[in-house]
Amino acid sequence: MNFKPLRLAVVLLGDRLAVAALSGTRLEAFTVDVENPAAALRAELDARRLPARSAFLALSRSAVTVKPIELPPVAGDVRQMVGFELERHLPFPPDDASYDFTLLPSEPAADRPAGAEQRVLITAADRRVVETALRLAEEARLRPLSLTVAAHNLPTLARVPRGSHVAWVHRAGGATDLLLVVGDTLMLSRSLSGTDDALVAEEVKRSLLALRWRGCDAVWVSGDVPAPQAPSAGPLAELGAPVTEPAWTPRAAQQLDGLAAEHRGALQLALAVASGRSVRALELLPSTVRPRRLTRAQTFTVGIAAATAVLGILALLAPGWREQRHLNRIDAEIARMDPDVKAVDRVLRDLERKRKLLAAVDGAEAAGIRPLPVLRELTEILPNDAWLTTLSLDAKGVELTGAAAAASTLIPLLENSPRLERVEFSSPVTRGRDNREQFRIRAAWEAGGAVAPTAGAPATPPGVVPAPPPGIVVPAPPTPGAPPATPAQPRRPAMTPTPPGTRP
């Protein structure tokens, strides 16, 4: 897909148009020769699917006046001075002229006349010629971008050696355009109504005298008549310079090979106009319809403003960009250390659990709680059909929660214990789904029954377990071979009953 804009060139050559449409590597070149050229041009563009909305217009060399003039050595505005000189050099009133000029390079001191300060090349066209070109563009629904002399665009297709004096002869449609250039600078142009070599050679000699040239370095021939492939003895060869084809650029040579041979000279002019720059010298388009373009100073100012804006944006974004890079490095380091952190966290949680367990054991020892003798005695006292789910020990006594076939038989058994007294149910007895009675029994410690002696208190007799401190809950240990408890009734090891009236 070609994204380059379409460049359309329309050259007005008397009663016909030469058109070239250039878009990237695509080239469409054709001529229009009908009574209504504007309508035919638009129809041809639509038929070739060329979406052109603007065009570079060009006039034939014979329709304009091109002349080098010398300005008086007076300081002032050059354009104003050129306007004063137009009346002496134009065949029509200056008020009806559309003109432009370009400064010519200074001549060597030996050849420069005394008092000549500056030479300019003026190009002027009658207002009626300009209006004809603008009316054509309007009827073809095209916006004019430029209006120049077609032959003056030819140097854009070739590489002129720097400092070389070249006479360029271009033939198109029975007429000859003569250009005298030094490098890329146009010094003079002529228009001849014929293509005879003798006539052209004579005009070249007169032009060399007008420019005070001693001679030219090369004679280039282009257009309808090809240049000679070998040295010849024609009138052009008598100028003392090699007569060759122009030194086309590689791209121009490729494009010229695809042009039709029938109107080769006119199509070469159209291609040169399409290949030219957007801003061109010797512009004849009236200032009222010219596209708005920035001057060099305005372009420089806009460039400085754009560079300042870009630097300001970069200054605002640079800190955030640096912080983002720093955060990305931190995230990468965190991702690398994440497995080690998780391992350390697991170790810390395990140590915390062990620390709490150790604190609970230390607290129990400090409070004098000795649950193991109490558990051993309960295991011996309670019958085999009794199951404990919870055993809570505190400084006041013990609380047992569980299930038994007959919960009321447990009260006398616990009363016979030397460690317990005031045994009673702390909540009503209920019957579960397995016909067992759910009980909750509370008993107080007998004096010196289960609490270890503290500082300043009398020692507990040997074999007596001190009472547990408040808040200590000791689960009953499982008995090997005992059936598992149901989910609603946790497992409780069977207790070996103690015969009534005996002591352990």
Phi first, then psi, for residue 82 (nearest 5°) are -65, -40
Specify whether 199 is located in the same domain as 68: no
Choose the final residue of a domain: 193, 214, 247: 247
Q: What is the pLDDT of residue 114?
A: 52
Q: What is the pLDDT of residue 283?
A: 92
Choose the final residue of a domain: 300, 317, 334: 317
Specify whether 169 is located in the same domain as 208: yes
Query: Once rounded to an integer, what is the mean pLDDT over residues 101-113?
Result: 67
Confidence of residue 308 (pLDDT cuts 50, 70, 90): very high
Q: What is the pLDDT of residue 463?
A: 40
Is 490 contained in some domain? Answer: no
Q: What is the pLDDT of residue 419?
A: 85
> Which of the listed ranges 296-305, 335-344, 352-361 does the model predict with the highest average pLDDT?
335-344
Is 499 contained in some domain? Answer: no
Average pLDDT, the chain: 82
Helical (H) or strand (E) element with 356: helix 296-367
Q: What is the pLDDT of residue 496?
A: 38
Query: Once rounded to an integer, what is the mean pLDDT over residues 87-96?
Result: 84
Is 254 contained in some domain? Answer: yes
Please answer whether residues 233 and 114 qualify as being in contact, where contact means their C-beta atoms are separated by less than 8 angstroms.
Answer: no
Query: Once rounded to an integer, what is the mean pLDDT over residues 319-337?
Result: 90
Is 421 contained in some domain? Answer: yes
pLDDT digits (tens, 9 = 90+) for 146-155: 999 999 999 9
What is the C-alpha end-to-end distance of the chain, expressed in Å?
105
> Distance between CA 44 and CA 32 in Å, rounded?
9
Confidence of residue 262 (pLDDT cuts 50, 70, 90): confident
> Distance between CA 429 and CA 147 in Å, rounded?
116
pLDDT reading at 457 higher than 80 = no
C-alpha to C-alpha distances, 186 to 60, 180, 276, nearest whole angstrom: 16, 6, 14
pLDDT digits (tens, 9 = 90+) for 112-144: 555 556 889 999 999 999 999 999 999 999 999
CATH number of the domain at 172, please: 3.30.420.40
> Distance between CA 342 and CA 384 in Å, rounded?
48
Mean pLDDT lowest among 77-86, 307-316, 437-446, 460-469: 460-469
> Distance between CA 442 and CA 446 in Å, rounded?
13
Confidence of residue 110 (pLDDT cuts 50, 70, 90): very low
Please answer whether residues 185 and 104 qualify as being in contact, where contact means their C-beta atoms are separated by less than 8 angstroms.
Answer: yes
Q: Which two tokens stand for residue 221?
A: 């021939």
Choose the final residue of a domain: 230, 247, 264: 247
pLDDT reading at 485 higher than 90 = no
Query: Once rounded to an integer, what is the mean pLDDT over residues 310-323?
Result: 89
Block residue for tokens 């295991």? 379
> Distance between CA 429 and CA 400 in Å, rounded?
13
Q: What is the pLDDT of residue 407?
A: 87
Is 498 contained in some domain? Answer: no
Q: Which residues of 80-100 are buried (b: 16+ CB within 10 A; e: fewer)?
A: ebbeebbeeebeeebeebbbb
Number of domains in the chain: 3
Specify whether 27 is located in the same domain as 142: yes
CATH number of the domain at 399, please: 3.30.70
Specify whether 232 is located in the same domain as 253: no
Specify whether 195 is located in the same domain as 208: yes
pLDDT reading at 413 higher than 50 = yes
Whole-model pTM: value is: 0.60
Block residue for tokens 């649950």? 371
Is 199 contained in some domain? Answer: yes
Mean pLDDT lowest among 229-233, 387-391, 432-436, 493-497: 493-497
Sign of CA dihedral 229, 232, 236, 238: positive
Using alpha carbons, select from 37, 54, 91 the residue that is nearest to residue 285. Answer: 54
Higher local confidence (pLDDT), 228 or 7: 7
Region label for 193, one of left (φ > 0), alpha (ψ between -120 and 50) or beta (otherwise): alpha
Please answer whether residues 416 and 446 qualify as being in contact, where contact means their C-beta atoms are separated by less than 8 angstroms.
Answer: no
Specify whether 216 is located in the same domain as 253: no
Block residue for tokens 């309960």? 378
Please answer whether residues 77 and 169 qualify as being in contact, where contact means their C-beta atoms are separated by less than 8 angstroms.
Answer: no
Is 169 contained in some domain? Answer: yes
User: How many Cα atoms within 13 Å fall on the side-chain side of residue 76?
Assistant: 10
Q: Radius of gyration (Cα) for the chain, nearest Å?
A: 57
Is 361 contained in some domain? Answer: no
CATH number of the domain at 121, please: 3.30.420.380
Specify whether 165 is located in the same domain as 223: yes
Mean pLDDT lowest among 40-49, 343-352, 360-369: 360-369
Q: What is the pLDDT of residue 230?
A: 64
Q: What is the pLDDT of residue 14?
A: 86
Specify whether 294 is located in the same domain as 388: no
Query: Domain residues for 376?
Result: 371-473
Percent of the chain with pLDDT over 70: 83
Specify whether 143 is located in the same domain as 259: yes
Confidence of residue 449 (pLDDT cuts 50, 70, 90): low
Specify whether 274 is located in the same domain as 211: no
Phi first, then psi, for residue 291 (nearest 5°) are -60, 145
How many Cβ atoms sit within 10 Å of the Cβ of residue 302?
A: 11
Q: What is the pLDDT of residue 434?
A: 83
Spatial CB neighbours of 229, under 8 Å, sequence gap ≥ 6 = none
Specify whether 6 is located in the same domain as 131: yes
Confidence of residue 71 (pLDDT cuts 50, 70, 90): confident
pLDDT reading at 348 higher than 70 = yes
Specify whether 149 is located in the same domain as 258: yes
Using alpha carbons, select from 279, 453, 237, 479 the residue that is nearest to residue 366. Answer: 453
Q: What is the pLDDT of residue 221?
A: 94
